[in-house]
Structure 1
């Protein structure tokens, strides 16, 4: 697992981003690997939907069960979307990740317990530091992707308006031991370039057309989150409607 974790970290190259098509089960993870994906990332929202639940309401048992099945099914590194940590301590979280076979994790800073919005940045940094310390003690350099929810928590989802707070949190999270930061909702190449230039560290963004512009802006990771799942389910519904309406070639 140490080698897999190191490989995952090496794939985070500013200017040559790791492209992640987020999976939710064994079938989707295997398709990502077959398509040439260099790593598999799960999506908590997609995993939850596949279990018939809402995101942040699946529970850690279901999440880690799905994760364990995925890691056993593919031969490339797996990084897990673990929401805000499921209430686990840093040590418990790392133990659960490694037991499930994952070598990376995506941890968000929304306060789902109190519903107060963003968690205090200092408290979140302290939690990330405990996760890093536990991973170091376990001898596996788990790749920590620290999600920053400033944009999605802004009433207008204004990335420019939240840039200073995004930067402040990013610096704190890097100091705590994060390997990459993920201001979810950020996909404007101009703002990506501003952030990567200010930080000089790996940044995870969402896709925009063309992807090459994000690479030129210095992105180190591009992920679609639950987007792949939602696209596939919408297409499934569309074709199901065609078949039910009498089109025998709906799934041909």
Structure 2
């Protein structure tokens, strides 16, 4: 049976995850930012950032609902379709018992991948390794039933954020890869000033390069794209940092307008 156009996009997204030649994602949160990023020749895929989507809706990230997330993703998916780009949706923790329903709807709107976290809001902590792995398998079962067997799960572990350490994050990452995830996103939480080179290399070596790392743009000390490429990661993203930097730019422009100091370009 021939692969569907949507599954071909999923295959394209999966193929872009190459250790040492990583997929670089400048995460978006609405149709305006999606259009801006999609128009760039170097853009290979679109990916949403749940924190930024929540902020645009006047919500804290933890209060983002499935419906609000899907509403934003629908607008972004329309842009992805126009540009024939694969779309990955930040699906947070899978919205508890809404996991299967939500994944089906994500696929219906055209997405071919998700981020899936192992820190469950309804349990107030990390899912067990077995439960989190089963949630990955559940996502992939739904995707297969929907005709997208190559659906990409970027499985995020919050083990570092929860204080469990890098070794636990690696154990979890291996389990999620075994469950069918394509890549592992190890997140350290907002208090960490980025990964150290030795930490990233240890994770890359243990997980065969199938690692997503956040590129730090809001403070000094983070590893560069070139350094992350050299270490051998497969995916680099920026999360909500573009949104945060945009807010500061808007404020600076507004100050100049409001106090009369703005100069016409």
Equivalent residues of 1:90, 1:128 under 8 A apart: no
Alignment-derived partner of residue 54 in structure 2: 48
Task: Please say if 1:4 is aligned against 2:9.
Answer: yes
Gaps of 5+ in 1: 155-160
Q: TM-score, normalised by structure 2?
A: 0.87
- Select which of 66, 75, 82 maps to 1:60: 66
Equivalent residues of 2:88, 2:114 under 8 A apart: yes
Structure 1 position 153, deviation (Å): 2.5
Kindly report the root-mean-square deviation, in angstroms, between the aligned alpha carbons of the 2 structures.
Answer: 1.6
Alignment of 1:1-252 (within 5 A): 1-35=6-40, 36-74=42-80, 75=83, 76-115=85-124, 117-140=125-148, 141-154=150-163, 162-185=165-188, 187-207=195-215, 208-249=222-263, 252=265
Equivalent residues of 1:90, 1:134 under 8 A apart: no
Equivalent residues of 1:15, 1:215 under 8 A apart: yes
Structure 1 position 201, deviation (Å): 4.5
C-alpha distance in 2 between matches for 1:89 and 1:242: 46
Structure 1 position 163, deviation (Å): 1.3
Q: TM-score, normalised by structure 1?
A: 0.91
Question: Deviation digits for residues 38-74 of structure 1, max 9, x if unmatched?
Answer: 1111000100111111112121111111111111113
Structure 1 position 168, deviation (Å): 0.8
Question: Deviation digits for residues 103-124 of structure 1, max 9, x if unmatched?
Answer: 0100111121132x22222111
Secondary structure at 2:64 match in 1: coil
Alignment-derived partner of residue 219 in structure 2: none
Secondary structure at 1:153 match in 2: coil
Deviates more, 1:181-190 or 1:9-18: 181-190
Secondary structure at 1:27 match in 2: helix
Secondary structure at 1:129 match in 2: helix
Structure 1 position 96, deviation (Å): 1.1
The number of residue pairs the alignment matches comes to 244
4+ long deviations beyond 6 Å = none
C-alpha distance in 1 between matches for 2:207 and 2:123: 30
Gaps of 5+ in 2: 1-5, 189-193, 216-221
Alignment-derived partner of residue 158 in structure 1: none
C-alpha distance in 1 between matches for 2:144 and 2:15: 17
Secondary structure at 2:62 match in 1: coil
Deviates more, 1:138-147 or 1:18-27: 138-147
C-alpha distance in 2 between matches for 1:33 and 1:130: 30
C-alpha distance in 1 between matches for 2:176 and 2:79: 32
Alignment-derived partner of residue 218 in structure 2: none
